[in-house]
């Protein structure tokens, strides 16, 4: 087995098979995860401090390439679920997900070989790193979204036919339950109810699977991508280059709009924070308006009555001065912003993918058109 430790060169961690995270990697990863979080996914501040605490305690976090997992390796994704405000107040013990893992190991009568993130965006990008540090387990450089989404079945594991259950769900006290459900939607529903009983946050080990299936289903390189995004921004700022150009370069993204937020409306429908923000164009966008519709995450961007981007492609709002991403709950009048869109993983662009997370699933009666196609249409009509 080849082991390559951090060697910085023009090629990045993407080409590395195994490496250990440094504090700088963590800082970069959190910035990248906020951008891939597309306005949702929870405040990564708590997640960042959890990982830094692990490093300060002398533990190590090992990231491995998906190719390191044999076909029969036992891989279990781990995540937190629940309410962001609870995570801010009832800080985790850091051991919660270990209870879930242990319970699942007992159920399968087999030790876990690798853990994996289910989300690349928001706070769940860092949770598996804490678990990896606590258990000394390597974390696979991949995930099930390549971004952030609000529900448990919104993962590529689901569209590849992997069952969410048997899954385990625990709290900080050590309460743990194992669920076996008829489908992944039921897993979401029951887990959500248990989360409430636990006090508003819960820790899950879910979509247990084996290397062969995982390799087909997962989105490869997402931890490295988040680190690269954060690093590109940091280095661009240091060198006095435009951070947004660097960001678009790494993510193959596009600038959609630049302007000032002139209106934000919020509606609380079905327990989700839905709403829309209207941005008035500045500079080369003067005279135009962009509307962003969101539900936890940014879902659709409409410029002067024409859809210019939609889920599952990523839409992120950045502060135009600092280049920092702005979450949907922090959108407000007067902010100067830059809106970018990045292509989602190809797996979301299949019919099963679009059925799960396409615009129609979120209630928008529009056809999905990949961002790079939409952009070309605008440039070359």
Token digits of residue 62: 């090992």
Name residues contacting other proteins, limited to 268-327 (CB under 8 A): 268, 271, 273
Size, binding site for other proteins by CB under 8 A: 37
Neighbours of 183 (CB within 10 A): 13
Nearer to other proteins, 108 or 333 (CB): 333
Rounded-to-integer distance, Cα 128 and Cα 130, Å: 5
- Contact between 178 and 118 (Cβ < 8 Å): no
Rounded-to-integer distance, Cα 363 and Cα 268, Å: 15
Is residue 194 part of the contact set for other proteins (CB under 8 A)?
no
- Candidates 3, 4, 85, 378; binder of other proteins (CB under 8 A) is 85
Nearer to other proteins, 27 or 372 (CB): 27
Is residue 135 part of the contact set for other proteins (CB under 8 A)?
no
Burial of 9 (0-12, 13-18, 19+ CB in 10 A): exposed
Applying CB under 8 A, the span of 43-51, 222-230, 241-249, 340-348 interacting with other proteins comes to 43-51
- Candidates 333, 350, 376, 378; binder of other proteins (CB under 8 A) is 333
Nearer to other proteins, 81 or 300 (CB): 81
Is residue 366 part of the contact set for other proteins (CB under 8 A)?
no
Is residue 369 part of the contact set for other proteins (CB under 8 A)?
no
The contact pattern for other proteins, residues 170-189, with x = CB under 8 A and - = no contact, is --xxx---------------
Token digits of residue 98: 């270990």
Indicate the helix (H) or strand (E) that contains 146: none
Applying CB under 8 A, the span of 15-23, 115-123, 235-243, 334-342 interacting with other proteins comes to 334-342
Rounded-to-integer distance, Cα 232 and Cα 229, Å: 5
Neighbours of 368 (CB within 10 A): 21
Rounded-to-integer distance, Cα 371 and Cα 252, Å: 10
- At its nearest, how many Å lie between other proteins and the CB of residue 337? 12
- At its nearest, how many Å lie between other proteins and the CB of residue 231? 20
Rounded-to-integer distance, Cα 264 and Cα 314, Å: 20
Rounded-to-integer distance, Cα 177 and Cα 216, Å: 29
- Candidates 196, 212, 355, 366; binder of other proteins (CB under 8 A) is 196
- Candidates 18, 59, 95, 349; binder of other proteins (CB under 8 A) is 95
Is residue 56 part of the contact set for other proteins (CB under 8 A)?
yes
Is residue 122 part of the contact set for other proteins (CB under 8 A)?
no
- At its nearest, how many Å lie between other proteins and the CB of residue 263? 8
Applying CB under 8 A, the span of 59-67, 249-257, 265-273, 301-309 interacting with other proteins comes to 265-273
Nearer to other proteins, 260 or 360 (CB): 260
Applying CB under 8 A, the span of 61-69, 151-159, 255-263, 344-352 interacting with other proteins comes to 255-263
Tell me which residue of 295, 145, 297 sits closest to 206, measured CA to CA: 145
Is residue 350 part of the contact set for other proteins (CB under 8 A)?
no
Token digits of residue 369: 């058109």
Rounded-to-integer distance, Cα 306 and Cα 210, Å: 43
Collapsing DSSP to helix, strand or coil, 181 comes out as: coil
Nearer to other proteins, 213 or 273 (CB): 273
Nearer to other proteins, 59 or 360 (CB): 59
Nearer to other proteins, 252 or 330 (CB): 330
Longest C-alpha distance within the chain, in Å? 63
Is residue 228 part of the contact set for other proteins (CB under 8 A)?
no
Rounded-to-integer distance, Cα 376 and Cα 381, Å: 8
Is residue 73 part of the contact set for other proteins (CB under 8 A)?
no
Rounded-to-integer distance, Cα 61 and Cα 48, Å: 13
Residue 13 C-alpha from the chain's centroid? 19
Contacts of 265 (CB under 8 A, 6+ apart): 275, 276, 277
**202: β partners:** 81
Residues engaged in binding other proteins (CB under 8 A):
46, 49-50, 52-53, 56, 82-86, 88-95, 130, 172-174, 196, 199-200, 260, 262-263, 268, 271, 273, 332-336
């Amino acid at each position: 087995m080849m082991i390559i430790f951090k060697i910085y060169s023009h090629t990045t961690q993407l080409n590395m098979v195994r490496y250990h995270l440094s504090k700088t990697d963590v800082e970069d990863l959190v910035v990248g995860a906020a951008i891939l979080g597309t306005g949702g996914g929870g405040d990564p501040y708590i997640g960042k401090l959890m990982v830094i605490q692990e490093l300060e305690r002398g533990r190590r976090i090992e990231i491995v390439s998906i190719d390191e997992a044999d076909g029969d390796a036992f891989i279990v994704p781990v995540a937190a679920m629940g309410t962001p405000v609870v995570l801010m107040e009832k800080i985790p013990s850091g051991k919660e997900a270990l209870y879930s893992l242990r319970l699942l190991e007992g159920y399968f009568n087999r030790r876990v070989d690798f853990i994996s993130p289910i989300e690349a965006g928001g706070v769940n990008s860092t949770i598996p790193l804490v678990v990896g540090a606590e258990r000394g387990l390597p974390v696979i450089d991949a995930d099930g979204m390549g971004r952030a989404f609000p529900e448990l079945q919104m993962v590529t594991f689901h569209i590849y036919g992997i069952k969410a259950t048997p899954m385990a769900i625990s709290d900080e006290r050590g309460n743990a339950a194992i669920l076996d459900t008829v489908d992944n939607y039921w897993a979401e529903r029951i887990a959500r109810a248990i989360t409430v009983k636990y006090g508003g946050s819960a820790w899950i080990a879910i979509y247990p699977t084996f290397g062969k299936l995982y390799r087909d289903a997962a989105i490869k390189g997402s931890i490295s991508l988040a680190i690269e995004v954060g690093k590109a921004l940091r280095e661009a700022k240091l060198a006095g280059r435009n951070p947004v150009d660097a960001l678009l370069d790494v993510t193959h993204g596009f600038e959609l709009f630049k302007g000032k937020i002139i209106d934000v409306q919020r509606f609380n429908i079905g327990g989700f924070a839905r709403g829309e923000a209207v941005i008035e164009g500045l500079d080369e966008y003067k005279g135009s308006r962009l509307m962003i519709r969101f539900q936890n995450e940014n879902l659709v961007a409409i410029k002067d009555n024409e859809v210019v981007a939609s889920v599952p492609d990523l839409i992120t709002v950045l502060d135009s001065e600092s280049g920092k991403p702005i979450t949907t709950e922090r959108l407000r009048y007067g902010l100067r912003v830059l809106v970018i869109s990045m292509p989602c993983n190809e797996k979301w662009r299949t019919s099963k993918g679009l059925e799960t997370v396409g615009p129609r699933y979120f209630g928008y009666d529009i056809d999905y058109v990949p961002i790079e196609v939409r952009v070309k249409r605008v440039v070359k009509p």
